[in-house]
Amino acid sequence: MSPRFARRLDGIEISMIRQIMSRAAGCVNLGLGEPEFADPPRVRKQARRVLQGGRIGYSPNAGIPELCRRVHEYHGGRGGHSVCVTNGSQEALFDAVFALAGPGDEVLVPNPGYVTYPTAVRLAGATPVPYPLRSRDGFRLDSEALKALVSPRTRALILNTPSNPTGRSLTLEQLQGAARLAEENDLVLVSDEIYRETHYGTPPPSVLDATDAAVVICGFSKAAAMTGWRLGWACGPRAIIDKVTVLHQNTSICASTLTQRAALALFTPEGRDEIERLRQRMVRNRLLTCRWLGRRMGQAFVPPDGAFYVMVSIEETGLDSLSASLEMLQDKVATIPGAAFGSEGEGYLRLSFACRPESLRKGLRRFETGINRLVQNRK
Ligand SMILES: Cc1ncc(COP(=O)(O)O)c(C=O)c1O
């Protein structure tokens, strides 16, 4: 039997990231965007308590009320806003895109940007329109270039701050500019702020500091190293979140009740301390990585002000990013080709420094060997 598949899947494949990682056995992982740290002990303890307690049934579709209230407060507690808790922020992203755009519509997505954005838009039947974050400008948002891409069909603008893969955060002025653009063109801002707690200076502004009329996508996968717990949410204007909840109900009924109840532990002073401890580890890893790349290797890179990625130029190797990343597997280090995130990522490899310091040092040593080898090969 050869099954026929829905047309919406045409051209949609497993991402380049997974393709690299599937060949990366025995490599130090500077590839995947997943903290290599243990999840917070408070969450584990609370989960054990929940397991030992009574039955774990469905929660209300939008999430258990106490968690929704906490998340609402976490995003400023704005009047007219509500929350839908989802299975990871990835689901929230899908639900928001599906709620806002369909055939004939366009959605602006960052280039380079997280691979799911254009895929979710395509699966919703709409057209992703990439807006450039140019490497020659240090991957900064060019508000004029963005404006020029808005059309009468544009329904939403996806922002990601701090960004995967660039590590850049948007400034309040840039967010205010995006808010004006949204208002003037009747489109919705969807701001993925999953890395908001991972910053290396003052906390980055949220889109909600610029406007109330935006949807924030967030969760604790990154800040609390809880990738496998699958906890995320969308928070924003009630009318939009109601639609997100309709989609969420029909795809997954509710997020894991065990996870939701355990995650309440993060909204206590002790839980906040654990998140801060994880952030401090990232601060040290970022310093180690930037020093290594700068002083030891003299390598061109864009220092991140948030998230746990750094984009490193591979210009000297003369290779495209996919070839360089595949070559590096020989040196037993996994990195992600910048091109996986869009054409503006070409010429770079994305390194994730969210690993234990021992792995990070080992990975950076191998990366150094690999780059030197590729540069020598070119000569
Ligand atoms: C920018 C961005 N958004 C969303 C996600 C999805 O995270 P999760 O579904 O674990 O919350 C990721 C994961 O790598 C990401 O990098």
Count of C-beta atoms within a 10 Å radius of residue 102: 12
315-339: b (≥16 Cβ within 10 Å) or e:
eebebebbebbbbbbebbbbbbbbb
The pair of three-digit structure tokens given for residue 128, joined into one six-digit string: 């992703």
Kindly give the distance from the C-alpha atom of residue 90 to the centroid of ligand 1, in angstroms, as a whole number. 6
One pLDDT digit (tens) per residue for the chain, 379 residues? 788 999 999 888 877 888 888 899 999 999 988 888 888 899 999 999 999 998 999 999 999 999 999 999 999 999 999 999 999 999 999 999 999 999 999 999 999 999 999 999 999 999 999 999 999 999 999 999 999 999 999 999 999 999 999 999 999 999 999 999 999 999 999 999 999 999 998 999 999 999 999 999 999 999 999 999 999 999 999 999 999 999 999 999 999 999 999 999 999 999 999 999 999 999 999 999 999 999 877 778 999 999 999 999 999 999 999 999 999 999 999 999 999 999 999 999 999 999 999 999 999 999 999 999 999 988 7
Structure tokens at 148: 């020029």
Domains recognised in the chain with CATH numbers? 10-39+271-378 (3.90.1150.10), 41-269 (3.40.640.10)
Global confidence as pTM: 0.96
DSSP state of 191: E
> Do β-strands 140-141 and 348-352 pair in parallel, antiparallel, or remain unpaired?
unpaired
What residues line ligand 1, using a CB cutoff of 6 Å? 33, 88-90, 114, 160, 164, 192, 194, 219, 221, 227, 232
Q: What is the DSSP string of 283-308?
A: HHHHHHHHHIIIIIT---EE--SBTT
Beta carbons of 164 and 174 less than 8 angstroms apart: no
For residue 215, report the distance from its CA to the centre of ligand 1, in Å: 16
CA of 194 to the centre of ligand 1 (A): 6
Ligand 1 site-directed mutation target among 17, 34, 89, most atoms within 8 Å of CB: 89
Of the residues 95, 116, 158, 163, which should be mutated to test ligand 1's pocket, given the most ligand atoms within 8 Å of the CB? 116
pLDDT of residue 19: 81
Q: Whose CA is nearest to atom 5 of ligand 1?
A: 90
Cα separation, 314 vs 337, in Å, equals: 10
- Ligand 1 atom with minimal separation from the 87 CA: 9
